[in-house]
Structures are given as C-alpha cells and as structure tokens.
Amino acid sequence: MAEFDAVIVGGGAAGLFAAAMIGRNGGSTLIVERNRQTGKKLLITGKGRCNVTNHCQPDEVLKNIPTNPKFLYSAVMGFPPAAVMDYFEQLGVALKTERGNRVFPVSDKAQDIAAALEHDAKAHGTRIVRGRAAEILMENGKAIGVKTAEDSYFAKNVLIATGGISYPITGSTGDGYTLAKQAGHSIIKPAPSLVPLVLSGSEAARMMGLSLRNVTLSAYEENRTKPVFSEQGELLFTHYGVSGPLVLSASAHLRPDEGRHYALSIDLKPALTEKQLDLRVQRDFADFANRDFCNALEKLLPAKLIPVAVERSKIGAETKVHSITKEQRQAFVRLLKDFRFAVKGFRPAEEAVITRGGVCVKEINPKTLESKLVSHLFFAGEVLDCDAYTGGFNLQIAFSTAYAAATAICQKQTERN
Ligand SMILES: Cc1cc2nc3c(=O)[nH]c(=O)nc-3n(C[C@H](O)[C@H](O)[C@H](O)COP(=O)(O)OP(=O)(O)OC[C@H]3O[C@@H](n4cnc5c(N)ncnc54)[C@H](O)[C@@H]3O)c2cc1C
C-alpha cells in the first residue's frame, strides 16, 4: 500500500533537505507543499541573501540555541555547520563567511540556496505535489500517510516539516501543530521571537525613521541590575517602538509574553567612557556657550533625538548653555549613556523571524527525531520547540534535524530489507 519511503509535509529548508538526503540513500520521497513553489521562506532569509549557517564548531551552535539545546545535541553533532557548507559547495553554490561567522552564498542570492535544495531533492527522485496536509493517516499507532483536501498519500514514514507561525505569508501558519496534536503530541505555546519590540510611550514614534548605528543596546528585566542582553550594533525607531538587527537579537532573550517586564537601555556613545563623554560635551558647550541648550547638540546627537533628549534632561530647551550647571551637565551625560525605554511587548508573529515554542521535544527521540508516541512519524525544523539567535543558527537547526530524521528513515528501511 505504501507508495513512498517517506511523505514529507512542507517543502521548506527542512523538508527539501530531508527529501534530498533520503533520495541520496536510495529512498523514495513525496513532498506535499501547500504553496505553488517550494522554499518560499528561504527566499526572504538574510534579507534575500540567506545566512545559510554559521561557520563555527557544533558546541558554538548549541550556545546560540536558548531553547532546548540539549535535545539538539546529537542532531547538531551529526550534521554540523561544516557539513552544511560542504553540502552546498558540492552542489556548486560557492559560499563566503562574513562578520560573526555568518555564511552566505557568494552570489548574495537566497534563490541559489532554495534552487539548489529543490534541484538536489528532485535529482534524487523526490516528487513534489501541491496540497495542504490536513490529517496524518495512522494505523495501529503507526503513521502511514497524510491526507489533503483532495488526496491521500501513503508512505512507510511521515515527516512533518511545516515550520512555525512566523511570516505566515510564506506558508507556515502553524498547521504542523494541529497535525502533531492529532497524533497526541503536546504543543508548547508558540510565540514570536527575533521580533521587533513595542515600547511604552510616544517617544519612539516621535523619532520614527531614526536609525542609530554603533550604539549599545542592553535589556534589563525589572528589578535586575545584570542585563539579559547587551550588544553593540544598529537599531531603528518606528511608529510602535524599535526594530533592526540589534533589537531582533535582543528579543530572543525577552519574555514579555510571560508577564515579565523589561527596560531597554541605549548607550548612545559606547566608544566613550562617561568621563570622556563629559569632556566632549564640555567642548561642545564651550563652542556654543551663548546658544539655547536645544540648539547646542547638533554635533553630538542626530536631529530627531535632540527634542526627546532635551525633554528628558529637564534642562529647559531655552536655557543658555553657559548657565547649565555641572550637575545638570553630568546628569545629561549619564542620560546619553543610559537612554531607557520600557518594553510593552513583542510585535506579532507576522513580523517575527522565528517562532519560539512548538512540538514538545520530550515526546520526540533526539537521535532520530521520531515521535515517541506514534511510530514512523518524524518532525524536523522550526515546527519543533527549538529556536536560536540570529547568525544562521535557525537554518542550521532545520538542516541538522532534517538530516537526523532522514538518516533514521533510511535506517528503518535497511533494517526491514
Ligand atoms: C524574514 C526572515 C528571515 C530569516 N533569515 C534567516 C537567516 O538568514 N538565517 C537563518 O538561519 N534563519 C533565517 N530565518 C529563519 C528560517 O527561515 C527558518 O527557521 C527556516 O526556514 C525553518 O525551516 P522549516 O523547513 O522548518 O520551515 P519553513 O521554511 O517555514 O517551511 C515550511 C514549509 O511547510 C509548508 N507547509 C506548512 N503547512 C503545510 C501543510 N499543512 N501542508 C503542506 N505544506 C505546508 C509551508 O508552505 C512551507 O513551505 C528567517 C526567517 C524569516 C521569516
């Protein structure tokens, strides 16, 4: 009855790669993909350039995975970044390594990664059909296929690689959770991660469009003095709050959705100590001694930030610079080194790079990615309750888990023969 060795739900990074790996081992696979094209999300990764992995050792990958790194240990060890890089280079996609060990195709085209994956899967016999899987077919506690609105597809194994709920326009709308639940699996509540942050108050909106480069962003949980995140980089003010690479990275460390409260602190001049910045401000103040305070900051701060900084300083905007006291000046310097905002929450999943939460890993065998509840049912990629920081680590999770599942599926085949 089983037509294929594996039917794979989802033709994203994990699904395509698993199909290619099973095909390379002589197995037959069918991908059921709801979109007209495969790899729709891959095309928008890394701003269209696809940060395909991180050129680092496997233990470094695990350090960049805040949720369930132990579960991923054997998958990442079994198919580390070096293996991902070898794979794409062997397919003819030349790679380069950039800042922070981020690996991209030399062409800077995510399309090259997506096309190489689909081509490799097809070259090894994978059939791709369009359809939205709505049900896992099971018999005696064993997965035997999937059902779409139009058809049923039977296979010896079923692999769910449907992704999470982030950027649902790419096809990942959380169907994998429904399918997993149907098989009796628990779902850890999905939430957005690597997502812009909404700030309290209206200051961010007043600074909308302002991009700050080379600032240090630190995030503090309420009543804590040690930051949960602190890094230098670039951020952007928007009508709701803040976005940009630094903010997305920070968001992976925050849990406002769990009722926790955070403050963001921006060090606007991280290259200068408080003392050095004070000397710098003194120089500016000396140059503009007879100007109003609000007109004396143009060399120090971007225009959109000045009215907000002046307001926060409590030094009147029209105060003559020569009359600003030493205490006022020093407090202003401290403000520039610790410009705080209260975090109101995350932006929605539609704007999140990845999903935190998903299929509970306690019910999955970490070596094979097979369900502990239903035999011959496998999971790979973002559908699992695993997520990583930015840097190519999320695609690495997709490839490592897909490889482990593909290997286990092929192993089952060998055992049977
Ligand atoms: C804007 C953006 C940029 C990103 N950049 C990077 C980056 O540079 N580096 C990095 O490591 N990670 C990046 N990520 C994260 C990365 O893209 C994901 O973690 C990765 O694609 C997950 O792979 P996946 O195969 O598990 O899921 P997806 O790639 O989401 O694939 C799931 C597939 O399943 C299909 N599907 C869903 N439900 C069904 C169903 N019921 N029936 C049939 N098909 C179904 C979907 O249509 C989709 O094609 C980025 C994400 C976003 C949104």
The one-letter amino acid at 326:
K
Please write the tens of the pLDDT for every residue from 332-380: 999 999 999 999 999 999 999 999 999 999 999 999 999 999 999 999 9
d(CA 93, CA 53): 13
The reported pLDDT for the residue numbered 413 is 74
CA of 42 to the centre of ligand 1 (A): 6
Best CA proximity match to 194, nearest among 66, 17, 104? 66
d(CA 151, CA 112): 32
CB 172 less than 6 A from any atom of ligand 1: yes
Best CA proximity match to 103, nearest among 149, 33, 50? 50
Residues 200 and 337 in one domain: yes
Boundary (domain end) residue, out of 309, 328, 347? 347
Residues 68 and 139 in one domain: yes
Report pTM.
Answer: 0.94
Residues 184 and 206 in one domain: no
CA of 337 to the centre of ligand 1 (A): 38
Please write the tens of the pLDDT for every residue from 205-229: 999 999 999 999 999 999 999 999 9
CB 148 less than 6 A from any atom of ligand 1: no
Residues with Cβ within 8 Å of 366's Cβ and at least 6 positions away in sequence, in order, are 70, 71, 72, 73, 74, 75
**Greatest extent of the chain over all pairs of C-alpha atoms, in Å:** 90
β-strand 197-199 against 339-346: which pairing, if any? antiparallel
Structure tokens at 50: 């696809």
CB 44 less than 6 A from any atom of ligand 1: yes
pLDDT at 198 over 80: yes
Please write the tens of the pLDDT for every residue from 69-99: 999 999 999 999 999 999 999 999 999 999 9
Q: Which domain holds residue 399?
A: 4-191+353-416
pLDDT at 303 over 90: yes
The mean pLDDT of 251-276, rounded to a whole number, is: 96
CA of 398 to the centre of ligand 1 (A): 9
Q: Are 185 and 192 in contact (CB under 8 A)?
A: no
pLDDT at 417 over 70: no
Structure tokens at 291: 């100007």
Q: Are 409 and 120 in contact (CB under 8 A)?
A: no
Best CA proximity match to 219, nearest among 229, 209, 211? 229
The CATH number that applies at residue 165 is 3.50.50.60
CA of 382 to the centre of ligand 1 (A): 7
Structure-token match 């779902």, residue found: 187
pLDDT at 204 over 90: yes
CB 382 less than 6 A from any atom of ligand 1: yes
Boundary (domain end) residue, out of 347, 362, 397? 347
The reported pLDDT for the residue numbered 112 is 98
b/e 325-338 (16+ beta carbons within 10 angstroms → b): eeeebeebbeebbe
User: How far out from the chain centre does Cα 34 lie?
Assistant: 22
CA of 357 to the centre of ligand 1 (A): 15
Residues 366 and 313 in one domain: no
Please write the tens of the pLDDT for every residue from 388-415: 999 999 999 999 999 999 999 999 877 7
What sign does the dihedral 110-115-116-121 (CA atoms) show? positive
Cβ neighbours around 409 below 10 Å, total: 28
Residues 16 and 153 in one domain: yes
The reported pLDDT for the residue numbered 412 is 87
pLDDT band at 277; cut points 50, 70, 90: very high
Residues 40 and 180 in one domain: yes
CA of 163 to the centre of ligand 1 (A): 5
Residues 139 and 161 in one domain: yes
Residues 27 and 109 in one domain: yes
Structure-token match 């490799």, residue found: 120
d(CA 417, CA 412): 9
Boundary (domain end) residue, out of 347, 370, 394? 347
Backbone angles phi, psi at 307, to 5 degrees: -60, -40
Q: Are 264 and 285 in contact (CB under 8 A)?
A: no
Split into its structural domains, the chain has a count of 2
Residues 166 and 180 in one domain: yes
Structure-token match 């610790």, residue found: 338
Structure-token match 């002589």, residue found: 26
Residues 339 and 361 in one domain: no
Q: Are 110 and 100 in contact (CB under 8 A)?
A: no
Check residue 223 and give left, alpha or beta (phi > 0: left; psi -120 to 50: alpha): left
Residues 324 and 403 in one domain: no
HEC sequence for the chain: CCCEEEEEECCCHHHHHHHHHHHHCCCCEEEEECCCCCCCCHHHHHHHCCCCEECCCHHHHHHCCCECHHHHHHHHHHCCHHHHHHHHHHCCCCEEEEHHHEEEECCCCHHHHHHHHHHHHHHCCCEEEECCCCEEEEECCEEEEEECCCCEEEEEEEEECCCCCCCHHHCCCCHHHHHHHHCCCCEEEEEEECCCEEECCCHHHHCCCCEEEEEEEEEEECCCCCCCEEEEEEEEECCCEEECHHHHHHHCCCCHHHCCCEEEEEECCCCCCHHHHHHHHHHHHHHCCCCEHHHCCCCCCCHHHHHHHHHHHCCCCCCEHHHCCHHHHHHHHHHHHCEEEEEEEECCHHHCCEEEEEECHHHECCCCCEECCCECEEECHHHECCECCCCCHHHHHHHHHHHHHHHHHHHHHHHHC
Backbone angles phi, psi at 216, to 5 degrees: -105, 130
Q: Are 39 and 117 in contact (CB under 8 A)?
A: yes
Ligand 1 atom 27 nearest Cα: 163
**Best mutation site among 41, 52, 351 for ligand 1 pocket (most ligand atoms within 8 Å of CB):** 41
Residues 317 and 372 in one domain: no
Please write the tens of the pLDDT for every residue from 107-128: 999 999 999 999 999 999 999 9
